[in-house]
Amino acid sequence: MYEFLLLASLVVFLGVSLAYVRHPAASLAHPASFYLIFHGFVFVLRPLVAIWYEFEFVYRLYDFQPSMADKITVIIGANLAMIVFVVASLLVAPRPVPRPDKHALGMARRKLFWPFMIATGLLTPLALASQIQNWIIRANHFDTMVRDPATGSSVNTANIGWFTDAALMMAPLAVMMVWLSRYRWWGWVYLAGFAFAQAGSGTRHALIFAVAAIAISWLMERGRKWFDWRTVALALMAAIAFNQIVIDRGGAVRQFILDDAEIEFIDEDELSPLEHMDFANLEYFEYLVYAVPQRTGTYDYFAHVLQIFTEPVPRVLWEDKPVGSPIKRFSLWDFGEPIGMSASVPGVGWMSLGYSGIVIQTVIFAAIFGGFYRYLLHNRGSPVARLGYALVIATAILGFRDGTLLTLLRVFPFYFGPLVVALLLARFAFGPYSRAALVPQADAGRSFLEQTPAERRKALAARSLDGPARRGK
């Protein structure tokens, strides 16, 4: 029965994907593409591999065993989330990516050269200082994050989380430099430096974020909907780096600079292909179905969302800050050992309110990323807005994997903040110097119907301002 359901899930995935690629808005830059890639890998391909190799690692680690009913619920819930996300995101963002304006793109790069360079010069030292601290922590095998035994949440006991995460700013700065350089060698030099520093920290998502943002920015700039050989090559290099960091947590890189106390390697022979925890959203979702509401007796009812109001306050300033959400209806640690669990969008939805929660959580994420697509690419439409969208959509995989709004809250200031700093410099420090790069200009050579909505509004505003002057003549 379960094997048949997995095959049916594959058929549903292929059917939804085929229907999606026939939609006018379908492209790699669309949020639905990112969700289909995520779902196809963790809830379609990997479950088939898990059946073949009989995965047991996470079950042993978490000390639980899902029933067949639990496993079936997970597959149904995951497919429900996929269908809802694709439909909802297409409703919110139904139009294709606008054609690039080469003239506006060149003007934006010229006018934003110094704002981008100054922002990079100001923020890189802070990001590097944070990264050096992360290297030292990893090399000496100590951590300031301590797990609270009652809730399983990690608590920063010594440092300020804002400084620890400041290292992430090098990722968007690398994207900005590659974009500013027109994808020439000097932009890639900064990216290479960032990749080396990030690899030594033992974490991976910032590197994947940067690669995804560069690929999407490149495709939109070239007016291409899907892949070309450059983006494929970049993705392959990122996959190789990802796998190496998984194996030694950056120890091989740190050895070039520091004396690592003892490099820990993951023995790949002990685990089957794809069995390690980075891709184990299937098992994590099964644990949530196993626990909620069968053993908890209740759902979370989205109480976990309240943590977004307490999370930004450093613990050093709020000694009695609640661990995790200020309102907890249950603890998942009462039923197993869910170490390092990333629940995924459908998993968090199930924990919140069962199948109804899956629909609600999925619609929220579709509205967020579809809304950015619509606002930045269509309502704004400037080259900088397109770059901003590349930074936003690159956070999607991490958001889909963790499944919580808190994850987006944590990374957005660092992944989107450097671009905001550069634009503030352009707007206030340089005045009108960069105004043309920030606001799309109406193209007089294109008809009114061919112009973007932003260009139409600007043209109408210009006409209304010119009207009184003409009447006075």
CA distances from 378 to 27, 96, 375, 401, 453 (A): 15, 9, 6, 27, 7
Q: Are residues 338 and 398 in the same domain?
A: yes
Gyration radius of the chain's alpha carbons: 24
Q: Give the pLDDT band (50/70/90) at residue 359.
A: very high
pLDDT at 234: 72
Range of lowest pLDDT (116-120, 246-250, 264-268, 391-395): 264-268
pLDDT band at 327 (very low <50, low <70, confident <90, very high): confident
- What's the pTM? 0.83
Looking at residue 88, what is its pLDDT? 97
Site of tokens 């199930």: 350
Q: Give mean pLDDT, residues 226-232.
A: 76
Q: What pLDDT score was predicted for residue 167?
A: 86
Nearest residue to 390 via CA among 109, 179, 197: 179
- Mean pLDDT on 394-401: 93
Least confident range from 78-87, 120-129, 355-364: namely: 120-129
* Whole-number Å distance between alpha carbons of 220 and 97: 7
For residues 434 and 458, membership in a common domain is answered with: no
Residue with tokens 């997970």: 74
CA 123 – CA 9 distance, rounded (Å) = 46
Mean pLDDT of 9-31: 95
* pLDDT at 373 (0 to 100): 96
Whether 243 and 390 map to the same domain: the answer is: yes
Supply the pLDDT for residue 473.
39
Please give the pLDDT value at position 301. 92
More confident of the two residues 267 and 444:
267
Are 460 and 395 members of one domain? no
Average pLDDT over residues 449-468: 52
The residue written with tokens 């990079």 in the block is 120
Let me know whether 262 and 353 are in one domain: yes
CA dist., res. 179 & res. 343, Å (int): 33
Verify that 155 and 105 share a domain, yes or no.
yes
Tell me the C-alpha distance between 242 and 250, whole Å: 10
Q: What is the pLDDT of residues 129-162, one digit of tens each?
A: 888 887 676 655 555 554 544 444 555 555 566 7
- Are residues 208 and 110 part of one domain? yes
| Helix pair 185-201, 229-248: axis angle to 10 deg | 20
pLDDT at 282: 94
Same-domain check for residues 460 and 429: no
Query: Predicted confidence band at 104 (pLDDT cuts at 50, 70, 90)?
Result: confident
d(CA 379, CA 385): 9
* pLDDT band at 291; cut points 50, 70, 90: very high
Cβ atoms of residues 442 and 451 within 8 Å: yes
If asked whether residues 380 and 468 sit together in one domain, one would say no
pLDDT of residue 53: 87
Cis before 314? omega within 30:
no
| pLDDT for res 300 | 93
Residues 418, 450: one domain? no
Higher-pLDDT residue of 302, 473: 302
Least confident of 43-57, 108-122, 225-239: 225-239
Do 267 and 361 belong to one domain? yes
pLDDT higher than threshold 90 for residue 320: no
Residue 95: pLDDT band with limits 50, 70, 90: very high
Q: Measure CA of the first residue to CA of the last residue in the chain; give whole Å.
A: 82
> 458 and 396 in one domain?
no
- Domain count of the fold of the chain: 2
Q: Higher pLDDT residue, 31 or 102?
A: 31
Range of the domain at 17: 2-438
Percent of the chain with pLDDT over 70: 77
On the question of pLDDT at 450 being above 70, the answer is no
- Mean pLDDT, the chain, as a whole number? 82
Confidence of residue 273 (pLDDT cuts 50, 70, 90): confident
Tokens 């090098």 map to which residue? 170
List, as one string, the DSSP characters of 353-392.
Answer: HHHHHHHHHHHHHHHHHHHHIIIIIIII--HHHHHHHHHH
